[in-house]
Amino acid sequence: MIIAGVDEVGVGCLAGPVVASCVILPESINVLFKDSKNTSEILRSKQFKFLRRNSFASIGLCTPQEIDEMNILNATHLAMKRAINNIQVKPEKILIDGKYVPSGLLNAKAFIGGDKVHQQISAASIYAKHFRDNLMAQYAKIFPLYYFEKNKGYPTQMHKEAIFEYGLSKIHRKSFKMK
């Protein structure tokens, strides 16, 4: 059976897209994946390269503008569907990290904390996080005042201070309120 794992990153960010990944691992694999939040940047980079060479993996994302238009939950689900639609092989079963299965996915099941239990979801977590972190590093070159290379768009104190001083950039989510 072809099983795909799906996870997202960037939901709690003030800037940048929400990014989802869909990963189908080879049947015989001897690499142990963990949730991307519990993995160092160096290990994530190595595992991302491993996944690019040894698995089927895809990305789906929603822009800050789409997030502002439809809300973060709907944008996250759309990013997940885009990742699933972008994968080269059609999965027979889809394991999703989260509480809900996006509408229209009949062969999918959601797992709260799924990235801690299912290797496919953990791999998708690694793939999505590495991709998004690299994207935010590129945005940092365009918008250096916001330190995206450090905060990746998350609401750190330094990021909030930059927003107060310089206003929102083109990649900030206008619908998100800072606490």
Consecutive H or E run containing 140: helix 119-142
What number is the average pLDDT over the span 115-122?
91
Residues 131 and 111: their CA atoms lie apart, in Å, by 23
Contact (Cβ atoms closer than 8 angstroms) between residue 102 and residue 20 = no
Cite the annotated binding site for a divalent metal cation by residue number. 7-8, 97
The whole-angstrom separation of Cα 151 and Cα 86 is: 28
State pLDDT tens for residues 72-81. 999 999 999 9
Average of per-residue pLDDT values in the chain: 93
Residues that constitute the known binding site = 7-8, 97
Indicate the pLDDT class of residue 22, thresholds 50, 70 and 90.
very high
CA nearest neighbour of 51 among 119, 152, 145 = 119
pLDDT band at 115 (very low <50, low <70, confident <90, very high): confident
> What is the total residue count of the chain?
179
Domain ranges of the chain: 3-166
Residue 134 pLDDT exceeds 80:
yes
Q: What's the average model confidence in pLDDT over 161-179?
A: 92
Report the first-to-last Cα separation within the chain, whole angstroms: 45
pLDDT for 19: 99
Using CA atoms, how far apart are residues 75 and 81, in angstroms rounded to an integer? 10
pTM as predicted: 0.94
For a pLDDT cut of 90, what percent of the chain falls above it?
A: 84
User: What residues form DSSP beta bridges with 47?
Assistant: none
- Give 3-166's CATH code, choosing from 3.40.718.10, 3.60.15.10, 3.30.70.3270, 3.30.420.10: 3.30.420.10
Rounded (5°) CA angle 12-112-21:
60
Q: What is the pLDDT of residue 107?
A: 94
**Lowest mean pLDDT segment, chosen from 41-50, 61-70, 93-102:** 41-50
Predicted local confidence at residue 155, as pLDDT: 96
Using CA atoms, how far apart are residues 165 and 163, in angstroms rounded to an integer?
A: 5
Q: What is the structure's pLDDT at 38? A: 72
**Mean pLDDT, rounded, for 28-49:** 79
Q: In what order do the strands lie in the sheet with 3-9?
A: 56-62, 18-24, 3-9, 93-97, 108-111
Give yes or no for residue 102 having a pLDDT over 90. Answer: yes
| pLDDT for residue 36 is more than 70 | no
Confidence of residue 31 (pLDDT cuts 50, 70, 90): low
* pLDDT greater than 80 at residue 17: yes
User: Which token pair is 34?
Assistant: 């963990």
Question: Does 57 or 30 have the greater pLDDT score?
Answer: 57
